[in-house]
Amino acid sequence: MTIEVNPRNASENNLEALERGRAYCAAHHPHLEAALADRYDARLPGFSQSLVEWAYGRHYSRGGVDAKTRQLATIAALTALGGQTAPQLKINIEHSLAVGATEREIVEIIWQMAVYGGLPAAINGLNAAMDVFDAQNEQ
Amino acid sequence: MTIEVNPRNASENNLEALERGRAYCAAHHPHLEAALADRYDARLPGFSQSLVEWAYGRHYSRGGVDAKTRQLATIAALTALGGQTAPQLKINIEHSLAVGATEREIVEIIWQMAVYGGLPAAINGLNAAMDVFDAQNEQ
Amino acid sequence: MTIEVNPRNASENNLEALERGRAYCAAHHPHLEAALADRYDARLPGFSQSLVEWAYGRHYSRGGVDAKTRQLATIAALTALGGQTAPQLKINIEHSLAVGATEREIVEIIWQMAVYGGLPAAINGLNAAMDVFDAQNEQ
Amino acid sequence: MTIEVNPRNASENNLEALERGRAYCAAHHPHLEAALADRYDARLPGFSQSLVEWAYGRHYSRGGVDAKTRQLATIAALTALGGQTAPQLKINIEHSLAVGATEREIVEIIWQMAVYGGLPAAINGLNAAMDVFDAQNEQ
Amino acid sequence: MTIEVNPRNASENNLEALERGRAYCAAHHPHLEAALADRYDARLPGFSQSLVEWAYGRHYSRGGVDAKTRQLATIAALTALGGQTAPQLKINIEHSLAVGATEREIVEIIWQMAVYGGLPAAINGLNAAMDVFDAQNEQ
Amino acid sequence: MTIEVNPRNASENNLEALERGRAYCAAHHPHLEAALADRYDARLPGFSQSLVEWAYGRHYSRGGVDAKTRQLATIAALTALGGQTAPQLKINIEHSLAVGATEREIVEIIWQMAVYGGLPAAINGLNAAMDVFDAQNEQ
């Protein structure tokens, strides 16, 4: 059985996964779990908890690489993946600015994707970034 | 703070996520977590636990749809996504057979993907299925 | 020549392909071919017939797996493929409800795609499903 | 009912779809349907006929654009789609040479995909083309 | 060092890349570089020049295949890639008409993509083409 | 005409694009252009120069973001894009180590992609990384 692998760590880490996710969200996106629960949980039980546990408890809060690099790498992937990820790309551009990435760093990473995902992906990504920058500068 | 959303449920479900994942794996893929830990955890701490928690604790063990449909839907997606998912497609064809899908149901679902993902995806998927069927029939 | 492969079956099945497609559409989507013909055939001769023959005569009417599973597998693939298939995803969610899938089964299959196609694909798929459910509940 | 749309045309074209596909294959890929039937039809009834009808009867034999352009456009798409379509890309490079495309035209179209699908797609496509050219030059 | 490979050619061709791109744009898209510079260069220095050099100086102006085939192949790829490339698909349908492709050739190439990228990609591509044709016929 | 946009900069930057690309390659991948020329240029004239100019002269040498972040973002995108980019992923993992990324940072970024591109993409990426690490540790 797998339970011997890491017996003490297991329940602790499990507790930490959702807790770490919630702590991360409390600091960075305070109303996220409640908003997700309102919108999705009646139809898909446990959705909000699962997302917070996985994305924030099991990824963004891991350490091992700094938050800004993690965010810029996410932007790279969402740009390269293209259309299906447009809403998430804008959110992650906001998150990248929030953890200290500059506008220049963000467009550099997006434009780099012209090499790997093609010009349409990169240009659509640049347009998303400029929409976010313009919206923030208007505030 | 988000913790008020579902206070009693929260820690319980969190406990259940990894536990449910491990229970599911114990029944269906008994050595998976240990094998993943051996291969990946030294370099990527917590990987094996995180995968069991997410894929098996937060998805395959959810209920709400029967196991065979869940598996066949997974095969559909892996077929449509194509090349990047070939190893996972073969594993999920094995898992589909294990939860009672017939060879015929599996190839029907794969061939359906010709409509949505194109002929190359469907034919590559059929070839993967036939490799799995032939390997199992040889045993 | 290939004609020997299945001589009697050949012309019969060929006749059946378009006819089976039309019979399937008559039962499930009665005005589809006429609507497609109106919109596309002047520019692309034979389009409507070809689509009915292929999608409905050669796939949905095949048998070998039940209609609901076939539909839910289609939803899985369209969710995983993402942006390019958003209009088709909504149509197939409607079709899945029409062949007896529950709202719960549909969101379960879509959410399963978080494992294989990533969170953005799954969340966009959930949003499409909720739009369809809400539109139907308003009627 | 949709059957009124094009009543006389319907059965004729339907007959023509598989027949046109078979005529096209007889001229260009004489043993294809038999080979497909041998490999797939026992498990997936009607597969070989369906593929010949759809790909060759409903697409390659359509007219409206010359065969070489149709083939080069196919190569473009298979290059841009990438990994999942590698076996089909090689086959279509052979088909493009067979309908009169030059090696130069083929690599030009593949390299053009660096703009739209990124460098990895284009370079992997060039490598596929060079494998095909080298294999043919060795004969 | 790589500089010995093609010493005379190197600076000449380099000069030619941006110059060829600009000459191509002057003939086909006269205000493109200025428009791109206005929109992007303040945030992403050199963007407009780089795009003209790469897309038009290093690809569209290459020769080796005629302009119409190059354009139709581009349409094929953008159709197959799907959602992420919708804006670019419309632009390239306009460019294809401008270099002499007929409406029929364009829809033939798009419909061919049903075989390789699936029906959703092809139908979304047809819809994009019909929007472009209708807009041009209204003028 | 576009030439007024940046008259003095234009020819300078053009000169710089290939030169910058060559300088970058001289420092990091000294034999790349010659190797590419040997393999591809006879069939696709100008390929090696064009790739050095675009990838290294117009992207990697740009500045605006540090080299390590640029490399890790590239790894993120190649992981998320999946199968078609496997050879390029391994090369970029080597390049990331060469500019100072740690093994841990690399696997963190790849694993992050489980959230955005799904588990198959992430696990295939981890396997690629472990192959590279093992090969380097054996030397």
Mean pLDDT of all residues in A48-56: 94
Q: Are residues A78 and A35 in the same domain?
A: no
Q: SS3 sequence, A74-115?
A: HHHHHHHHCHHHHHHHHHHHHHHHHCCCCHHHHHHHHHHHHH
DSSP code string of A10-21: HHHHHHHHHHHH
D46 and D97 belong to one structural domain: no
Dihedral of the CA atoms D26, D31, D32, D36 (nearest 10)? 140
Q: Note whether E106 and E89 are same-domain residues.
A: yes
Average pLDDT score over residue span C126-133: 92
What is the percentage of chain A residues whose pLDDT exceeds 90?
A: 57
Tell me whether E10 touches chain F (CB under 8 Å): yes
Same domain, E73 and E131: yes
In this complex, do E107 and C83 lie within 8 Å of one another by their Cβ atoms? no
The residue range of the domain holding D18 is 14-60
Contact D73 E111 (CB under 8 A): no
Region for D118 from its dihedrals, namely left if φ exceeds 0, alpha if ψ lies in -120 to 50, beta otherwise = left
- C-alpha B127/C-alpha B29 separation (Å) is 24
Residue F5: inside a domain = no
Query: Which other chains touch chain A, taking contact as 3+ CB pairs less than 8 Å apart?
Result: B, C, D, E, F
> Is D1 within a domain?
no
The pair of three-digit structure tokens given for residue F80, joined into one six-digit string: 């998320």
Q: Containing H/E element for B118? A: none
Closest approach of B17 to chain A, Cα-based (Å):
8
**Nearest CA among E69, C50, E64 for reference residue D67:** E69
- Asked if the model's pLDDT at residue D8 lies above 60, the reply is no
CA–CA distances in Å: residue C60 to residues A102, B32, C21, C56, E46: 51, 36, 8, 5, 52
Chain C neighbours, 3+ Cβ pairs < 8 A: A, B, D, E, F
Q: Give the pLDDT confidence of B31-79 residue by residue, as tens digits.
A: 999 999 999 999 999 999 999 999 999 999 988 999 999 999 999 888 8
B57 vs E: CB within 8 A:
no
- Distance, CA of F81 to chain centre: 14
Give the number of A-F residue pairs with CB atoms closer than 8 Å.
97
Residues 6 or more apart in contact with residue F123 via CB below 8 angstroms? B88, F114
Point out the residues of chain E with pLDDT beneath 70. Answer: 1-15, 83-84
What is the rounded average pLDDT of the residues C74-85? 80
- Same domain flag for D50 and D98: no
Residue F138 neighbours by CB under 8 Å, 6+ apart = none
Q: For F2-19, give the DSSP string.
A: GGGSSHHHHHHHHHHHHH
Q: Verify whether the Cβ–Cβ distance A44 to C108 is below 8 Å.
A: yes
D104 in any annotated domain: yes
Place of tokens 């640029």: F70
Looking at the fold, whether F74 and F31 belong to one and the same domain comes out as no
Are B95 and B28 in contact by the 8 Å Cβ rule? The answer is yes
pLDDT at B9 over 50: no
Whether residues D53 and D28 fall in one domain: yes
Looking at CA atoms only, how far is residue E91 from chain B in angstroms?
A: 24
Mean per-residue pLDDT over chain B, rounded: 84
The chain-wide mean pLDDT, for chain C, equals 84
- Count up the domains in chain F and report the number: 2
Quote the tokens at residue D34: 């038999």
Higher pLDDT, C41 or A117: C41
Q: How far is B138 from chain D (nearest CA, A)?
A: 17
- Is residue C74 within 8 A of residue C106, CB to CB? The reply is no
- Whether residue B107 lies within 8 A of chain D, CB to CB, comes out as yes
Do F76 and F128 lie in one domain? The reply is yes
> What distance in Å separates residue C20's CA from the closest CA in chain A?
34
Output the pLDDT for position B14. 46
Residue D8 lies in a domain: no
Residue A2 placed within a domain:
no
> C39 and C92 in one domain?
no
Contact E80, E50 (CB under 8 A): no
Q: Tally the C-alpha atoms within 13 A of residue D128's C-alpha that lie toward its C-beta.
A: 27
Contact between A7 and B34 (Cβ < 8 Å): no
Look at residue C3 and tell me if it is in a domain. no
Residues of E in contact with F6 (CB under 8 A): 37, 49
Confidence label for A11 from pLDDT (cuts 50, 70 and 90):
very low
Interface confidence, given as ipTM, is 0.83
Per-residue pLDDT tens over the stretch D22-41: 999 999 888 999 999 999 99
Question: Residues of F with CB below 8 A from A126's CB?
Answer: none
Residues of E in contact with A118 (CB under 8 A): 81, 85
> What's this model's pTM, rounded to 2 decimal places?
0.85
Query: Quick one: which of B38, B92, F37, C107 has its CA closest to E3?
Result: F37
Domain assignment present for residue D101? The answer is: yes
Does residue C45 share a domain with residue C79?
no
Q: Average pLDDT for residues F98-108, to the nearest whole number?
A: 92
Taking the Cβ of residue F87 and every Cβ of chain B, the question of whether any pair is shorter than 8 Å is answered with no
Segment C95-124 shows an average pLDDT of: 90
**Average model confidence (pLDDT) across chain F:** 84
Per-residue pLDDT band at B80 (split at 50, 70, 90) = confident
Q: How far apart are CA C93 and CA C97, in angstroms?
A: 6
Q: Which of C25, C54, C62 sits opposite D2 (nearest CB)?
A: C25
> Hey, is the C-beta of A104 within 8 angstroms of any chain E C-beta?
yes
Query: Cα(E119)–Cα(F17) distance, rounded to whole angstroms?
Result: 41
Q: Rounded to a whole number, what is the largest CA-CA distance in chain B?
A: 57
Paired tokens of C118: 């990533």
At residue D79, the pLDDT reads 86
Residue written as token pair 């289609």: C74
* Tens of pLDDT, residues A88-100: 899 999 999 999 9
Interface test with A, best of B8, B11, B14 (most A CBs within 10 A): B14
Tell me: do D76 and D118 sit in the same domain.
yes
Contact state of A109 with F79 under an 8 Å Cβ cutoff: no
A129 close to E61: Cβ distance less than 8 angstroms = no
Q: Does the beta carbon of E32 lie under 8 angstroms from any beta carbon of chain D? A: no
Of D39, D43, D84, the CB nearest to B120: D84
Query: Which of A38, A44, A124 is best to mutate for the C interface (most C CBs within 10 A)?
Result: A44
The CATH code of the domain that includes E100 is: 1.20.1290.10
Q: Do B85 and F120 touch (CB under 8 A)?
A: yes
CA separation for the pair F96, F115 (Å, rounded): 22
State mean pLDDT over C61-66: 90
**Residue range F7-31: average pLDDT?**
73
Does some domain include residue A3? Answer: no
Give the three-class secondary structure for D90: helix
Local structure of residue D91 (DSSP, 8 states): H
Residues from chain A that touch B20, judged by Cβ atoms under 8 A, are: none
Boundary-marking domain end, from F60, F93, F115: F60
Q: Which pLDDT does position B83 carry in this prediction?
A: 61
* Residues of E in Cβ contact (< 8 Å) with B119: 115-116
**A65-95 pLDDT, tens digit each:** 999 999 999 998 888 887 667 788 999 999 9
Nearest to D78 by CA among E117, C73, B89: E117
Contact F82 B87 (CB under 8 A): no
- pLDDT tens figures, C6-42: 333 444 444 579 999 999 999 988 899 999 999 999 9
Residue D15 has pLDDT above 60, yes or no: no
E74 shares its domain with E91: yes
Chain E: give the shortest CA distance to residue D108, in Å.
7
Instruction: Give per-residue pLDDT as tens, D67-112.
Output: 999 999 998 888 888 766 778 899 999 999 999 999 999 999 999 8
- Copy the structure tokens of residue E84: 């992420």
The shortest CB-CB distance from F84 to any of D103, D114, D120 is to D120
Partner residue facing E84 (CB), from A83, A111, A114? A83
E71 touches chain D (CB under 8 A): no
Give all chains having 3 or more CB-to-CB distances under 8 Å with chain F. A, B, C, D, E
F120 touches chain B (CB under 8 A): yes
Structure tokens at C54: 């292929």
CA-angle at F45, arms to F43 and F47, nearest 5°: 100
